[in-house]
Structure 1
Amino acid sequence: MTKRAVILLSGGLDSVTALAIAKAEGYECFSISFDYGQRHKTELLAAENLAKKAGVASHKVIQIDLRAIGGSALTDDIDVPETEQQGIPITYVPARNTVFLSIALGWAEVLNAEAIFVGVNAVDYSGYPDCRPEFIDAFEKLANLATKSAVEGSAIYIKAPLMYLSKSEIVKRGTELGIDYSETVSCYQADAQGRACGQCDSCRFRRQGFIDAGLADPTRYQ
């Protein structure tokens, strides 16, 4: 029987690398993206394109209005910082990964999938609390308490294959797997054409990753 996995696919560099790794590990992949009230939708278009190119079995876009609660520069009328911030930055979206993983968990149960892949990283990242290994471990425990499939003996695993990789290591791994990173959108304030600002946290980590990997940066900048 073919093993199945649900992949959280944002349209950015990390999530498409997680998708490629899941495919390389022999999973039949089902990708899920979220229209959650973020400032721009170009990342959703990128995710749809990347899912199609990867040949996923199905791709879903789920609508959730996190803008209704705000509290983040990505979902509220707050400027995206263009300099390095101390502590947890204002681009952190309250409960985002908890909500996303919960919905992915529901779909995984419907599909009889054994794994959920998420591209979180605890090395070159902005310090978000819901990207830490402790969070992933805790959510996996929750998943196997909260689902019918787990109670009946079919565990669901939360896989974070990028957790301990540097951005340069992620870029190298994805390049080995044939990813065209020019088609990804990582920027927190990309324009309508998906071009990056080059200044936000996400852009800075991404650009440094290509530099450290010794690879040309294919990102389209404004």
Structure 2
Amino acid sequence: MNRQARKAVVLLSGGLDSATVLAMAVEQGFEPYTLAVSYGQRHSAEIEASVRVATSMGSVRHQVMRVNLDELGGSALTDRSIAVPVTPTSGIPVTYVPARNTLFLSLALGWAEVVGATDLFIGVNAVDYSGYPDCRPEFIEAFEKLANVATKAGVEGARFRIHTPLIAMSKAQIVTEGTRLGVDYAQTVSCYQADDSGAACGRCDSCRLRRAGFEVAGLADPTRYQSA
């Protein structure tokens, strides 16, 4: 790896989008420090996927941080008493996790200060997504401003930048770009309720968006689905 490359912290959930973002950061010449957050979600399969993806794609260091958002509840992804929807819903769905991306970016920002990085990558998308408010450009712009006034590095003249290379891309465009970059999507887990082996339910919003992306892109879907 180029020792002169700039360091970047890449949020890596273990899903399709974040794996693509990691590949894009590497192509741009960044030294990636990858960060996954175990936040009390329904399964650990995506955390295990993040380790596989980080290892295969040359992460300098992969960090898994743990925060118990399940203690707050309020989301189908952290509260097992709330069912994950398997049909499209209107409005912001119950799979929205309150303040999740605010927390993730805050943790990434803290680690960036420690490792000496001023570039952060996150795989938010505002085209083919579930309508989450913390996936929109307005949120990213606001957080970037915060990063530059709330940190020692920012106050001392560093300029933090939040990279969102997928924000205006369709899922098909993301899959096509990731395939070009050599992402092995079989290693990733996107399902909201994957089983212990990482097999996807095929019915949740995330599964529907992922499957449609491969279909529109005309590419084979390597996702492992649970048996009916």
Could you list the structure 1 runs, at least 4 aligned residues long, displaced by more than 4 angstroms after superposition. Answer: none
- Whether 1:18 aligns to 2:26 is no
- Whether 1:94 aligns to 2:98 is yes
Q: Counterpart of 1:163?
A: 167
Amino acid across the alignment from 1:215? L
TM-score (norm 2): 0.96
Partner secondary structure for residue 192 of structure 1: coil
Alpha-carbon distance, 1:112 to partner: 1.1
Aligned residues: 222
Q: Structure 2 CA distance, aligned partners of 1:68 and 1:196?
A: 25
TM-score (norm 1): 0.99
Q: Structure 2 CA distance, aligned partners of 1:103 and 1:211?
A: 35
Q: Counterpart of 2:202?
A: 198
Alpha-carbon distance, 1:23 to partner: 0.3
Percent sequence identity over aligned pairs: 62
The correspondence for 1:135, drawn from 133, 139, 142, is 139
Q: Counterpart of 2:53?
A: 50
Alpha-carbon distance, 1:2 to partner: 2.4
Q: Structure 2 CA distance, aligned partners of 1:220 and 1:213?
A: 18
- Whether 1:215 aligns to 2:219 is yes
Q: Structure 1 CA distance, aligned partners of 2:71 and 2:115?
A: 30
* RMSD over aligned Cα atoms: 0.6
Partner secondary structure for residue 105 of structure 1: helix
Amino acid across the alignment from 2:7? R
Partner secondary structure for residue 165 of structure 2: coil
Partner secondary structure for residue 61 of structure 1: strand
Partner secondary structure for residue 202 of structure 2: coil
Partner secondary structure for residue 210 of structure 1: helix
Structure 1's unaligned 5+ residue stretches are none
The C-alpha deviation readout for 1:51-105, integer Å capped at 9, x for no partner, is 0001111000001000000000000021100000100000000000000100100
Partner secondary structure for residue 172 of structure 1: helix
Q: Structure 1 CA distance, aligned partners of 2:59 and 2:72?
A: 32
Q: Structure 2 CA distance, aligned partners of 1:218 and 1:85?
A: 26
The C-alpha deviation readout for 1:115-144, integer Å capped at 9, x for no partner, is 000000000000000000000000000000
Amino acid across the alignment from 1:91? T
Q: Structure 1 CA distance, aligned partners of 2:153 and 2:62?
A: 22
Amino acid across the alignment from 2:154? A
Q: Structure 1 CA distance, aligned partners of 2:74 and 2:212?
A: 28
- Whether 1:178 aligns to 2:182 is yes
Q: Structure 2 CA distance, aligned partners of 1:54 and 1:113?
A: 19
The correspondence for 1:152, drawn from 138, 151, 156, is 156
Q: Counterpart of 1:112?
A: 116
Alpha-carbon distance, 1:154 to partner: 1.1
Q: Structure 2 CA distance, aligned partners of 1:133 and 1:120?
A: 9
